[in-house]
Structure 1
């Protein structure tokens, strides 16, 4: 008995000292008894005193635990409990004021870009080092970031004190209400609103596209600043409790994240599919995929698994909509039934439309590779074997996306092969080959000037270039060989005047017939146009020039003779005028003039 009394005396004395010190500072800031305390912020007025206030509250809590184990009915314990309630009420107010007054400094962007302070140090570390830490941080961050660091430090001090004192519920309630309003407001300001399937279904495309563009900007800001900043702040303030961190972050961000990712999910499920809308689907898929690591990191809690699941579902649904669009695109190519030959054997609208579409799709090759990886390979056997010409190697090892693009172009070329036959019915067999050449050249040009070149590769392009040359060779043979054959094999050979006249008449007739017929043709590609004209000129002009120079004197002796109707330069001028759209435009728009054509054909012999 005599030995226990001194221990109680020591305990009582310690409690008395703690109560005395705590009562001085806690009652000073009792907002119910002090007008000064009611209108003044402790942490704003005097951070050193605020730090002392927190220390006294924590010491009081420790003393209460010590006393309650000895005498739960102690009057000192009751007195301490009253002081604790006053202190917690004060801290609750301070917590609210800091959150409210620093909305601008605790906005997610400021928080997400602030210099990283230690988010796992203990309360005692903060009691000893928080001012030094803030001072050091302030040397390397902006003034706004410095203010946010101070606010975050104060919030953490208060939160840890309230949680350890059993007042975590009150602290968390304030935090959730204020921070959720900030996140919800942020989502709204980014232009993202909750929509239903029926609303999207009824929207005009122009309106929906505006919504999508707003969403694309919103998801970038949300993942880089809004949700990221909120996660950093939550992790920092409630570093002492994993369960509270998770609970707060989940409740604050769940609704905003659901609205954000719900838009894409509903769009993918509900929007009317079209070939144009596939690009917006790809934009949204790209946005989510590019932020996937952030989504997994920021929403890593078990209680936020629904957000991850919703984002993943959006990716899957958007990917499925893209696959469906590609199937529809393939079907549209195959269903094209236009039979009217393109005037001048020019580029078919189907070629233009398909290649424009594919070149735009190729810009999304990174995400398309992921989307198409499990798509069944095309049934090449469904196309006629003649379209392959034995030049396509086994591409079973090619990426799915490369195979798919090559397949779609193959379908286009197959359709063009069928459309080329429409010229033969009009007796313009040569036109069919020129049509195939100009359209394939357009395909090659679009491939070379877009990301398609990386998907299809140089070998593919080289094979198509060979095919263009084959088509041109066939065209020249059918369209111009009879002109070449209208001249003697030996243009310099001696012959009678009548024989010379007959050869001139044959050439005049053959050339005029060919020129008249081929002047209707159009070759849009300037390089190909010049190559064709030069090739034709090399076949005709050198031989005709020799014949003309050898026999024009004989023919010219006859009065008013017009048998030698064309001089070699006249032939060159005529050829240089070919393959332009319209008439009379060649003088100004020709990339190969008659003089250059004359020079090149002369040099070749």
Structure 2
């Protein structure tokens, strides 16, 4: 049981007088009273020392002092002053000391407001979003009480020199200082004043960062009136800016806000500050793709639309994480709406693209049976689409291929479009290729000679196969698809040989070494001379654009003609020359080696024939007035960022 003397020191008697005790009896001063009074006096000394109006305050910034202990002692004094105020409010609500404590607290808060403002302004370069992002892990581990360790510990300093840069170190220290001040002000009931300063300074930083990235506030009416060339420049600028804006500016601002207002009483202030600082800029950034998607849709806009889709899709997890507060849900919704609108635009453009192929009505045969501009345009377009297979798969997931097409019903589900192809987007791209191949079948009928029709089909299908094999289409369509269509190319080439060189083949005997009457020999030479010369002359303007296919056809022809002719030539040439009945008629016009020389000159086309190398840039075609594809305009791919067929 405590002694009577000790009780009077540690236990405060009831404030109401008890029976037998005079009401005018003086109240005893307890140990707690003395302790709280001492807290006020210590706080008074430090707060007065750093009061802006005090002549003794000669240092401009408390937190830039060489002695970190001063700032630490100052904040501790403020916290102790709060404790004293709470004590006197509870136990001596009319005490003059409470009035003094409140006055001191107001003075301290003014000082901390100034320190908070100066720290945000002066340390702007160390609180840039990139430095904040890099330093965030260290800042989250650091507390204000740890900051002196960065300077007084030689070992820690040596380790820090190896691990982080000076800017990162200052950034970490500045964030810890800001957090310490914010915690103190919020604890003292000055959270609104702290948040007001923070919002003003940091919103100007974010707005300036977005301005330098080229982020503009463009509404739909402005975008809708832009020429495509101008709008495409805006899209390129946006694509360059969006990743930095989300991953550096907004992410860095969220990290800084979470760090400064990470105290237990700071949750609502953290949410309010972050929302008001970044919400407007984020909405301006993310509404742009939606407005682009709502503009008129043409094939030339497909790839930029997909670029926009990919950018937002890739950043969606970051956007969901950074803007996770309910107050920033509008930013998440805007990103989702932009994705939806862009996906709808892509589906519309794909449907229009297929329709344009169906509607193509060009009736002029390609000179020489070469590669048709439609083939070049469509295959370059599809090859570019293959580069976006991931995004197209997302867009295409709920858009099944239907039989609402001018093609015969039998083509749907045909092996050409589905065998060995597993992904839906691969099936769709294979379908588009099938559409153009069917269109080319009709164009092959425009040639007067069947042989040239087959050469035209071989040229165009070879171009398709080469384009597939040399692009990401090979991964989507697979080796089986390629091998199957390569076999079709060989079949078309064989049909060309059979139909185009039939008279040459027929002019030679089946067995060139068999004994044949001289009159029949003379007739064979005449027929061969006539048919070979005529065929070479007629085919001299025909084209095989692909060098590999060109060589294969020449080699095949040489193998079928040269050996038979050589045997026949060697057996009967001397006899024919010695036969007096031939007179001066030049029956033997070609030596066996001459055949190869004549064949080597074929399939290059003639000047003005309209031949185009298979390695040239494909022309871009806009849709003509009827909605069909026209092949007389420039390529959009030259301006397409980073992708090439």
Return the TM-score normalized by structure 1. Answer: 0.91
2:242 is equivalent to residue 214 of structure 1: no
Residue aligning to 1:495: 516
Q: CA deviation at 1:584?
A: 13
Match of 1:178 in 2: 201
Helix, strand or coil at the partner of 1:192: coil
**Larger relative contact order (CA 8 Å, sep ≥ 6):** 2
Q: Distance in 1 between matches of 2:541 and 2:550?
A: 14
Aligned equivalent of 1:41: 61
Distance 1:489 1:49, change over 3 A: same
> Structure 2 vs 1, CA of residues 96 and 546 (structure 1 numbering), >3 Å: closer, same or farther?
same
Runs of 5+ unmatched residues, structure 2:
1-6, 14-26, 614-645
After superposition, the CA RMSD in angstroms is 2.3
Once the two structures are overlaid, the 10-residue window that deviates more, 156-165 or 398-407, is 398-407
Q: Is the 8 A contact 1:387 1:413 kept in 2?
A: no
- In structure 2, the residue corresponding to 1:517 is in which secondary structure? helix
2:383 is aligned with 1:359: yes
- Matches of residues 145-544 of structure 1 in structure 2 within 5 Å? 145-240=168-263, 241-269=266-294, 271-379=295-403, 382-384=406-408, 391-392=415-416, 394-395=418-419, 398-423=422-447, 426=448, 428-544=449-565
User: Residues 340, 273 of structure 1: CA spacing in aligned structure 2 closer, same or farther, 3 A cutoff?
Assistant: same
1:572 to partner: Cα distance: 1.6
Kindly tell me: are residues 386 and 490 of structure 1, through their superposed partners in 2, closer, same or farther at Cα, counting changes over 3 Å? farther
Aligned partners of 1:306, 1:385: CA distance in 2, in Å? 46
2-structure distance, mates of 1:417, 1:540 = 29
User: Which structure is higher in helix share?
Assistant: 1
In 2: Cα distance, 1:381 partner to 1:171 partner: 65
Report if aligned partners of 1:483, 1:511 keep a CA contact under 8 Å in 2: yes
The answer to whether the 8 A contact 2:139-2:172 is kept is no
Which sits farther off after the overlay, 352-361 or 2-11? 2-11
Aligned residues: 577
Residues 213-255 of structure 1 deviation map (CA, whole Å, 9 limit, x = unaligned) = 1111111111221111111110000001221111111111001
C-alpha distance after superposition, 1:290-326 (max 9, x if no partner): 1111111111111111101101111111111111111
1: CA distance, partners of 2:231 / 2:309: 16
CA distance in 2, matches of 1:144, 1:180: 22
Alpha-carbon distance in 2 for matches of 1:291, 1:544: 69
From the superposition, tell whether residues 104 and 192 of structure 1 become closer, same or farther in structure 2 (CA, over 3 Å): same
- Given that residues 391 and 463 in structure 1 are in contact (C-alpha distance below 8 angstroms), is that contact kept between their aligned partners in structure 2? no
Alignment CA distance shift 1:360-1:368 (3 Å): same
Gaps of 5+ in 1: 590-605
Q: Note if contact 1:523-1:579 (Cα within 8 Å) is conserved in structure 2.
A: yes
Gap change, CA 1:483 and 1:263, over 3 Å in 2: same
Q: 2:148 matched to 1:131?
A: yes
Equivalent pair of 2:47/2:108 in contact (CA under 8 Å): yes
For residues 394 and 202 of structure 1, what CA distance do their matches in structure 2 show? 42
Indicate the SS of the match to 1:222.
Answer: helix
Aligned-partner Cα distance in 2 for 1:21–1:371: 68
Give the conservation status (yes or no) of the 8 Å contact 1:120–1:239: no
**Aligned counterparts, 1:566-581, within 5 A:** 566-581=590-605
Match of 2:34 in 1: 13
| Per-residue CA distance 1:31-59 (angstroms, 9 max, x = gap) | 1333745x711111243211111000001
Name which of structure 1's ranges 381-390 and 295-304 shifts more when overlaid on structure 2.
381-390
Kept after mapping to 2: 8 A contact 1:555/1:561: no
Cα distance between partner residues in 2 of 1:583 and 1:144 = 67
Give the whole-Å Cα distance in 2 for the aligned partners of 1:391 and 1:50. Answer: 78
Residue in 1 that maps onto 2:571: 550
Q: Structure 2 CA distance, aligned partners of 1:254 and 1:128?
A: 33
Give the secondary-structure state (helix, strand or coil) at the position aligned to 1:58: helix
Compute the displacement of 1:380 (Å).
Answer: 8.0
Whether 1:88 and 2:113 are equivalent positions in the alignment is no
Note the alpha carbon deviations across 1:500-529, whole angstroms, 9 max, x for none: 111111111221222122222100101101
| Corresponding residue of 1:51 | 72
1:409-459 deviation per Cα after TM superposition (whole angstroms, max 9, x unaligned): 000000001111111xx2x01111111111000000000110111111111
Q: TM-score, normalised by structure 2?
A: 0.86
* Of 10-19 and 154-163, the range deviating more from structure 2: 10-19
Structure 1 residue 390 displacement after superposition: 6.7
Residues 104 and 14 from structure 1, CA distance in 2 versus in 1: closer, same or farther, beyond 3 angstroms?
Answer: same
Partner of 1:598: none
Q: 1:129: how far off?
A: 2.7
Deviation for aligned residue 1:378: 3.6
- Report if the CA contact (8 A) 1:330-1:408 is conserved: yes
* Corresponding residue of 1:592: none
Mark the CA change 1:584 to 1:382 in structure 2 (over 3 Å): closer, same or farther: closer
Q: Where does residue 12 of structure 2 map in the other structure?
A: 4
